[in-house]
Amino acid sequence: MAVTEKEKKTTGKKKVSEKKPAAKQAKKILVIVESPAKAKTIEKYLGPKYTVKASMGHLIDLPKSRLAIDVGNNFEPEYITVRGRAKLLKELQGDAKKADSVLLASDNDREGEAIAWHLRNAITAKTEQVSIQRISFNEITPQAIKDAVAHPSAIDEAKVNAQKARRVLDRLVGYNLSPLLWKKVKNGLSAGRVQSVALRLICDRENEVESFIPEEYWSLEADFKVGKIPYTAQLVSWQGKKPELKNEAQVKAIVDIVTKADCIVSDVRETDKTVKPRPPFNTSQLQQAAANRLGFTSRKTMQVAQQLYEGVSIGNSRVGLITYMRTDSVRISQGALEEVRAWIGKNYPDDLPAAAVEYIVGKKAQDAHEAIRPTYVDYIPDEIKEYLTRDQLRLYTIIWERFVSSQMNPAKTRTVSADIKADEGIFRIAGTKIIEKGFYRVLKLLTSREEKGSAYPVLKTGDKVTVDKFHPEQHFTQGPPRFTDASIVKTLEEKGIGRPSTYAPIISVLLDRYYVTRSNKQLVPTVLGRMICNMLVEYFPAVVDTEFTASMENKLDEVEDSQIRWPEMIREFWDPFKSRVDEVGKTLESFKGSLDEPTDHVCEKCGKPMMKKLGRFGYFLACSGFPECRTTKSIPLAKCPRCGGDVVSRKTKGRGKEFYGCTNYPECDFISHFKPINQDCPKCGQFMVEKYDKKNGAHKACINPNCDYLHSDDEEPGDGE
Which residues are identified as catalytic? 324
Q: Where are the alpha helices (DSSP H) in 311-389?
A: 334-347, 381-384
Question: How much of the chain is in helix, strand and coil states, percent to nearest 5?
Answer: 40, 25, 40
Cα–Cα distance for residue pair 300/341, rounded to 1 Å: 31
CB atoms under 10 Å from CB of 386, counted, come to 9
Cα–Cα distance for residue pair 644/659, rounded to 1 Å: 18
Nearest-5° Cα angle at 272, 267 to 276 = 150
Q: 137 with 144: CB under 8 angstroms? A: yes
Residue 381's nearest CA partner among 323, 443, 336, 441 is 443
Residue 532's nearest CA partner among 41, 202, 120, 57 is 202
Across the beta sheet with 632-633, the strand order is: 597-602, 609-615, 618-623, 632-633
Nearest-5° Cα angle at 366, 364 to 368 = 160
Cα four-point dihedral sign 371, 375, 378, 383:
negative
Q: Please give the single-letter amino acid code of residue 549.
A: T
Cα–Cα distance for residue pair 154/578, rounded to 1 Å: 37
Cα–Cα distance for residue pair 548/580, rounded to 1 Å: 16
Would you call 17 helix, strand, or coil by DSSP? Answer: helix
Q: 312 with 392: CB under 8 angstroms? A: yes
Strand stretches in 534-617, DSSP E: 597-602, 609-615
For the chain, the farthest-separated pair of C-alpha atoms sits apart, in whole angstroms, at 116
Q: Please give the single-letter amino acid code of residue 241.
A: K
Strand stretches in 159-228, DSSP E: 216-226
Residue 680's nearest CA partner among 714, 643, 641 is 641
Within 8 A by CB and 6+ apart from 696, the residues are: 476, 478, 712
Would you call 310 helix, strand, or coil by DSSP? Answer: helix
Cα four-point dihedral sign 277, 280, 284, 287:
positive
Cα–Cα distance for residue pair 196/294, rounded to 1 Å: 28
User: Which run of H or of E encompasses 659?
Assistant: strand 658-662
- Return phi, psi of residue 24, to 5°: -65, -30
Q: 343 with 400: CB under 8 angstroms? A: no
Q: 373 with 323: CB under 8 angstroms? A: yes
